[in-house]
Amino acid sequence: MMTFFKSNLFNGFALVIATCLISTSLAKSETLVTDLSQHTIEITSRFSGSELLLFGALERHAHESTQSGEITVQGLNYDIIVVVQSEPTDLIIRKKENIAGIWVNNENQTIQGIPGYYVIESTRPLDQILSKGKLAEYGLGLQNIGDGSVEAGEYKEALIRNMIDSGLYLESSDNVTVRNEILFRANLTFPSNMPVGDYKSSVYLVRDGDIILEDHTILPVNKRGIERVIYNFAHDYPPYYGIMAIIVAISAGLFSGYVAKKLS
């Protein structure tokens, strides 16, 4: 009786293990491949903005335990989220108030981890793709960038409005197109006032409310020519840059006055 019980127990474990192996071998998997139409943006004196194409392909396959090949998986619903953002930094937001008819800076709040450029695009509205908890966990969406404290709330909302008006922030759900459930693309627009630095391009593949794959690429944005020399000098030697700026401004004013006097 004991031998029979052990035999049945072993057969039961073997059946469970075999079932798990078969399920694993039939489990669906995905491969995400993305790329950019250009891998750097150079800002010159004639720079008036730029457009960039982010594109990619989704490979869906399942391995069969009895075959060495693959079969295509059809009929699965996926969503794509594309995020491009500049390096985060800390910003001091000042609140202006009208005192005796004069607008002055009264209060201020430092907001941490704010990008100077942030664009997020998706196949559907974000709240239809992921839960609020998931969006907050991955920092997706304009409301989830930077400092999330109560103190920063009013200042952060004002900042987001100003950045949207400046063309530096965008949240859109109609600019990611998918063809044949495999190929996808997103058109990205960069305004002339975009900050320099290393931008991060991220693509998230979502299925059934979960992010199952993500891919990240660095996009350098640099100044070129005389603009780069001036930019580097201003950041490496800010006191000297300020002195030179004052001298140039005074010289320009004196020269304009001299020319006006001669012409009169």
- pLDDT single digits (tens) 130-142: 999 999 999 999 9
Q: Which of 150, 147, 194, 188 is nearest to 168 (CA)?
A: 194
| Mean pLDDT of the residues in the chain | 78
Is the CATH number 3.40.50.11610 carried by domain 28-223?
no
Query: Which pLDDT value is given to residue 213?
Result: 92
Query: Which pLDDT value is given to residue 21?
Result: 42
Query: Which pLDDT value is given to residue 152?
Result: 77
Average pLDDT of the segment spanning 150-160: 83
- C-alpha to C-alpha distance for 108 and 105, rounded to whole angstroms: 8
Q: Which of 81, 117, 100 is nearest to 196 (CA)?
A: 117
pLDDT by residue (tens digit) across 86-115? 999 998 888 777 776 777 777 788 888 999
Length of the chain: 264
Confidence category of residue 257, pLDDT binned at 50, 70, 90: confident
Domain locations in the chain? 28-223
pLDDT at 72 exceeding the cut of 70 = no
CB atoms within 10 A of CB 170: 17
Torsion 112-222-53-192 (CA) sign: positive
Confidence category of residue 64, pLDDT binned at 50, 70, 90: very low
Confidence category of residue 75, pLDDT binned at 50, 70, 90: very low
Give the distance from CA 130 to its chain's centroid: 16
Where does residue 227 rank: exposed (0-12), middle (13-18), buried (19+ CB within 10 A)? middle
pLDDT by residue (tens digit) across 208-256? 999 999 999 999 998 765 555 565 655 666 776 677 778 777 877 777 7
Torsion 173-178-184-187 (CA) sign: negative
